[in-house]
Structure 1
Amino acid sequence: MSSAIDSFLAMLAAERGAAANTLAAYRRDLEGSEEVAGDLVAATKDDLAKLSRVWSDLAPATVARKISALRQFYGFCLEEVLRADDPSTALPRPQTRRPLPKILSHDEVEALFRQAESEAETGRAPALRMLALLELLYGSGLRATELVGLPVSAVPRDAPFLTVTGKGGQQRMVPVSRRAQAALARWLEVRASNSAFLFPSRKSHLTRIRLYQLVKSLAGRAGIDPARVSPHVLRHAFATHLLEGGADLRVLQTLLGHADIATTQIYTHVDSARLVALVNERHPLAGTRGRG
């Protein structure tokens, strides 16, 4: 493996605050490219052209991600004078469309909560934990990684907010509803652990994989196809339903922790008719007649 990859990843972490998952994905893509094209620092355009043939059966979004990693790597090589040219121009430019997020209806979300609340009535710790997890996924729109890594100190005391550390180590405040506060309080009463994490495990904290399994299992018990439900789908539902309710896109961007509002704009597909009606009803000139 080229030592330049390590240097590139160190730069991403130090200068751009790239998250651990992002760094791992870049490493996989770059090391996989080296297996085909050889040492990336010395690779020629012809070497990189081999990658297109190897990637021919991959999804366009996957190819686009790999190409992005290589282009950024070669930009780094130019800046560090590791080479004088950029061979990544030999790579294709696949046209990709951001996929629309999976959506749960209001009725399906209510079914999930009915099931979780019914099970929580038993007072059993796993059921109370599940309800708290569900409230924070749908009620605050947390990413799975953000949720499982929450420290106990993040739980609000006097203010209805959580302090969340998101991608790139960026912190933001997210609101916690009265329902979520109540669910958290019930969970903390039965949480038998001295761990610094809100949702501890034997070694550290609840893993993303375990959270994924818990959410799908709850969906099955609630009569919803588990294939349609995941922690990220609940985050999408949070954003979609807020936008339907009239939330401002900039506010939604802040709540979701998106660095670029273009990422948030994908949710505008959910209710375009409502947005048109909003302009027609609320625009300052909506009530005026056209001038002849």
Structure 2
Amino acid sequence: MKSNADLIDEFCTTLWLEEGLAKATLQAYRSDLQQLGNWLDEQFAENLLQTSSEHIRNHVHDLLELKPSSLNRKLSSYKRFYLWLNTTKQREDNPCTQLQSAKRGLRIPKTLSEKQVLDLLAAPDLSNAAGQRDKAMLEFMYASGLRVSELVNMPLRAIDLNVGAVKVLGKGKKERLVPMGEPARLAIQLYLQQARGELLKGKTSDFLFVTHFGTPMTRQGFWKNVKRLALIAGINTTVSPHVLRHAFATHLINHGADLRVVQLLLGHADIGTTQIYTHVAKEHLHTLLNQSHPRSKSR
């Protein structure tokens, strides 16, 4: 009988080969399955191949204190793993067929108003190379709705300033073409003409955005820069690169963009993920109604 470690390795290798899942995603699957395997060994001295539906239910009961989002991620890992075992004929049954996702309330993403975004975009100091880079990164992210990982890992060759578009390699190594507006194009052009060479100091890099060490910008480094610039802009709410991505999508919906278009720009595999922004837009409309309607109680 295969060990838990061998089964998990084989499963994760299959996901990587067939779907090209990111390292972080594969590690999440691995961690969830290792925890399940350890629990089975401690409780019943059995391995993952021997799991019954009752075992799975008991294990899930022990996890009920987790947030619904965390629990659902684990359930998704278990379901996919046992479906794979069944499909590859390593098990005749699937002990997860009756598992139901944990209920969770609608989570409205944090976002920024259009004025707050404009204030944030105006915060970088363009008299120095780092400020020009930060301006280009903020304009680029707000213009394209990139994930922060997509932004910091952007290759120099992926961007075409003449066309005003960029090739983005997203989750699952799926490529999409994303247009950018004129402010973002001009900010990146200024950065490439002046700041990037100054930051590299004679070094070379395949990445678009670099630090004063000549190394690629990191997620953590950009997050710190966004937080610092938000304070300069006088924004009192929590601001992160992901909040800027939410603002991109929310403002598009507020201005009448088609949901399918927003889905393509964000790189969402499922339009259900994109639909959350319609709820944000509805809240925006309610606010405008309360502020503007002559019969509103707030007037």
- TM-score, normalising length from structure 1? 0.85
CA apart distance, 1:220 = 1.7
Aligned partner (choices 94, 118, 137) of residue 86 of structure 1 = 94
What residue in structure 2 maps to residue 109 of structure 1?
117
* C-alpha RMSD over aligned residues: 2.2
**C-alpha deviations, 1:8-47, integer Å up to 9, x for none?**
1122222223222221221222122222123322223343
**Among candidates 213, 223, 226, match of residue 234 of structure 2:** 223
Deviation, structure 1 residue 273: 8.4
How many Å apart are 1:93 and its aligned residue? 3.4
CA 1:41–1:204: 2 relative to 1, 3 Å? farther
The offset of 1:91, in angstroms, is: 4.7
Check 1:248–1:72 CA distance in 2 against 1; reply closer, same or farther (3 A cut).
same
Distance in 1 (CA, whole Å) between partners of 2:154 and 2:18 is 25
Letter in 2 for 1:104: L
CA separation of 1:21 and 1:204: change in aligned 2, threshold 3 A: farther
For residues 138 and 10 of structure 1, what CA distance do their matches in structure 2 show?
A: 35
8 Å Cα contact 1:2/1:41 also seen in 2: no
Instruction: Kindly indicate whether residue 251 of structure 2 is the aligned counterpart of residue 241 of structure 1.
Output: yes
Query: How far apart, CA to CA, are the structure 2 residues paired with 1:204 and 1:30?
Result: 35
SS in 1 for 2:26: helix
Distance across 1 between alignment mates of 2:8 and 2:28: 12
When residues 104 and 97 of structure 1 are mapped into structure 2, their CA distance, relative to the original with a 3 A threshold, is: same
8 Å contact kept, 1:212–1:231: yes
Farther off after superposition, 206-215 or 165-174 = 206-215
Name whichever of 135-144 and 50-59 sits farther off.
Answer: 50-59
Other-structure match for 2:210: 200
- Look up the SS of the partner of 1:224 in the other structure: coil
Give the counterpart letter for 1:4 in structure 2. L
Shift of 1:76: 0.3
Unpaired segments ≥5 residues, structure 2: 42-46, 287-299
Paired residues in the alignment total 271
Q: After TM superposition, give the deviation of residue 90 of structure 1 in Å.
A: 6.6
Residue identity opposite 2:39 in structure 1: V
State the SS of the aligned residue for 1:172. Answer: strand
- Give the structure-2-normalised TM-score: 0.83
Identical-pair percentage: 40
Partner residue, 2:159: 155
Structure 1 stretches lacking a partner, 5+ long: 277-292
Aligned 8 A contact 1:145 1:208 in 2: yes
